[in-house]
Amino acid sequence: MRILFLGDIVGRSGRDVIEKQLPQLRQQLKIDVVIVNGENAAAGFGITGQICKSLYQVGVDIITTGNHIWDQREIMQWISTDHKLIRPINFPSGSPGKGSFFYQTKNGERLLVINAMGRLYMDPLDDPFAAIDKELSAYRLGGNVDTIFVDFHAEASSEKMALAHYLDGRVSAVIGTHTHVPTADHQILPAGTAYQTDAGMCGDYNSVIGMDKTSPIQRFTRKLPTDRLVPATGIATLCGVFIETHKNGLAKNIHPIRLNGRLQPTNLDVISS
């Protein structure tokens, strides 16, 4: 299976770069499924039903989220019927929506996507390790599911790395989100799981993690209340990872993807050759 995962979409510029780049990217890399983290898509805070629909229209198949999932109140109703939009699986029992989605590609391949959230320097949710273990008790990689992808939305790189090693060999990939900065540690772990600490964001990098620079700088230098943070509106970079799996579900390749905007772009010809 050929998977494209795109990191946190930040505001209008992040949505625009996906609309611009995704159709050609999907065709050139012969993508089977596109997963995006959309938790900052609505003006930097949360996501709306209309944004979900617009992302599906340009080729997104599944949307993961994180700590900003409930920032737009309307999404609490929307997520109950849109099962392709998932929230962290370790939210307390009874939370709207689900933490995983079982997807079948046009070729009949079966994919399980799990979204989880870390607890270090984050909201004190349920144990993500235990929550994923419980979900995996019903699935066997290479058995009743062909590929298992985990978006781990977490602040601490140590927590992300620990989860990846904990799941090594049981899932196809563990990719981190939340910090908005793409890391350079893409690798395949010893038992066959693809890993990168953070996929980066789809947003304007002439910013402070996607937000206009003025208010964050004021907060750090003056320690005074400032205006609400707003997304930067310059040209965005599309950031994510491309993962290819073997027939047994373990990872064959992982490549960072960076297109457009300020960051050095990926040479797609090398990946697609």
- The model's pLDDT over 50-91, given as tens digits with 9 standing for 90+, comes to 999 999 999 999 999 999 999 999 999 999 999 999 999 999
- The model's pLDDT over 128-172, given as tens digits with 9 standing for 90+, comes to 999 999 999 999 999 999 999 999 999 999 999 999 999 999 999
Distances (CA, A) of 141 to 110, 168, 248, 251: 10, 11, 7, 11
pLDDT of residue 227: 81
The CA distance from 147 to 249, in Å, is 5
The CA distance from 196 to 188, in Å, is 9
pLDDT of residue 223: 82
Q: Which fold has domain 2-272?
A: Purple Acid Phosphatase; chain A, domain 2 (3.60.21)
pTM: 0.96
Q: Tell me whether residue 202 is exposed, middle or buried, using C-beta atoms within 10 angstroms of its C-beta: 0 to 12, 13 to 18, 19 or more.
A: buried
CB 84 within 8 A of CB 55: no
Percentages (nearest 5) of helix, strand, coil residues in the chain = 25, 30, 50
Q: Which amino acid is it at 133?
A: D
The CA distance from 243 to 203, in Å, is 21
CB 229 within 8 A of CB 216: yes
Provide the residue ranges of all domains of the chain, joining segments of one domain with +. 2-272
In which residue are the tokens 């090594």 written? 168
pLDDT surpasses 90 at 27: yes
What residues form DSSP beta bridges with 10?
Answer: 40
Q: Name the residues annotated as catalytic.
A: 68
- The model's pLDDT over 103-134, given as tens digits with 9 standing for 90+, comes to 999 999 999 999 999 999 999 999 999 999 99
pLDDT surpasses 80 at 272: no
- The model's pLDDT over 181-190, given as tens digits with 9 standing for 90+, comes to 999 999 999 9
Residue 50: its H or E element: helix 49-57
Q: Residue 270: pLDDT band by 50, 70, 90 thresholds? A: confident
